[in-house]
Structure 1
């Protein structure tokens, strides 16, 4: 492949990686990771509400990594309340799991930045082998993909296994009990999945530029050495 085509491909990879940095940073600051509706079971049982009457007892919760908002309804109208995870919900959420999600988000921003820098360096600079060359491009993009997967897996575990929406809805509630009615992941969560797909696309772009996978090169060199040994 011509050098000009390689420059175009590597430049596109650099732009995509820098876009990943902006996407993750933006997603971390929003509160649109999860949206759930919660049912006030205490109020619904008191009046034996069924069918359309349940709408008066269904509130909502939406939150991200740092903050969120909940709307409580127990038959007397909605009560909006804004909250932050730190320090408000430290005693309610699984802090170690939530901290791991934040840590890997920061690592993903760092690795995506390195991907962007190395793509541009390979496009317009004079890279040498190992970390600054093709091996570095593969390594940082694969590391970013792994970080993206870890963020998604850990966050799903936090929300589903630890019933995060219910814990938030029942925060500082002494008389009413809330249960999750519906729950879905919002667009900020899926932006991280988009980042994962983008880094996978970057790996394909590196291969399209004519750079072999590192482990394929090792296998090919071993095969060639074996053939040479047989000849002599």
Structure 2
């Protein structure tokens, strides 16, 4: 591929990497990872509410990785309340899983930033060798795996550890149960990050950079042939 086209490909890949960094950073701060409804089970049971009457006992819940908001409704109107995971709810949420999600989000930001820098450096400067050069771009672009881990771990936190119910029952006398849950925009942005990183992985190949394992195999074959000649 001519140098001008290769530079264009690397610039596009760098721009996509920068978009990944911004997307992850914005998603981390937004309380838009999950929204749903919670049922005031105690209140509904006291009055034997059913059908349309349940609407008077359905509250709303939405949260992210650091904060959220819940609207408690137990037959007397909604009461909005904003909450923060750190430090107020450390003993309520599944802390190990939650910190792991934050850790992989940080790794994703770091790897995407490094990939962006290396893309632009290889577009406008002299490419490095080994892990710091074009071959290293495969490593940094593999951060798409981190985005998958973030989605899987957060889903486990919600579904297996019943995080929404824990939040709804925090400092409550009545018993609240999860009525419905839907992943929100910040969660699905990580799926976008996954596809953008996968696209970057393909752009490296389009730029004419061979896969690392393929290049090593070819070099071994060449070395073996040279040894036979001597």
Query: TM over 0.5: same fold?
Result: yes
- Report matched runs for 1:19-38 at 5 Å: 19-38=19-38
* SS of equivalent residue, structure 2 residue 61: strand
Residues 135 and 209, structure 2, Cα contact 8 Å, conserved in 1: no
Task: Find the counterpart in structure 2 of residue 173 from structure 1.
Answer: 172
Give me the whole-angstrom Cα distance separating, in 2, the residues matched to 1:152 and 1:130: 31
How much has 1:222 moved relative to structure 2? 3.3
List alignment gaps of at least 5 residues for structure 1. none
List alignment gaps of at least 5 residues for structure 2. none
Give me the whole-angstrom Cα distance separating, in 1, the residues matched to 2:114 and 2:68: 31
How much has 1:131 moved relative to structure 2? 2.0
- Report matched runs for 1:191-202 at 5 Å: 191-202=189-200
Task: Find the counterpart in structure 2 of residue 55 from structure 1.
Answer: 55
Aligned pairs, number: 230
Give me the whole-angstrom Cα distance separating, in 2, the residues matched to 1:211 and 1:127: 12
Give me the whole-angstrom Cα distance separating, in 2, the residues matched to 1:205 and 1:163: 40
* 1:219 equivalent among 217, 220, 226: 217
* SS of equivalent residue, structure 1 residue 13: helix
Give me the whole-angstrom Cα distance separating, in 2, the residues matched to 1:5 and 1:179: 57
Superposition TM-score, scaled by structure 2 size? 0.95
Give me the whole-angstrom Cα distance separating, in 2, the residues matched to 1:196 and 1:72: 35
Matched, 1:118 2:118: yes
Cα RMSD, aligned residues only: 1.5
Superposition TM-score, scaled by structure 1 size? 0.95
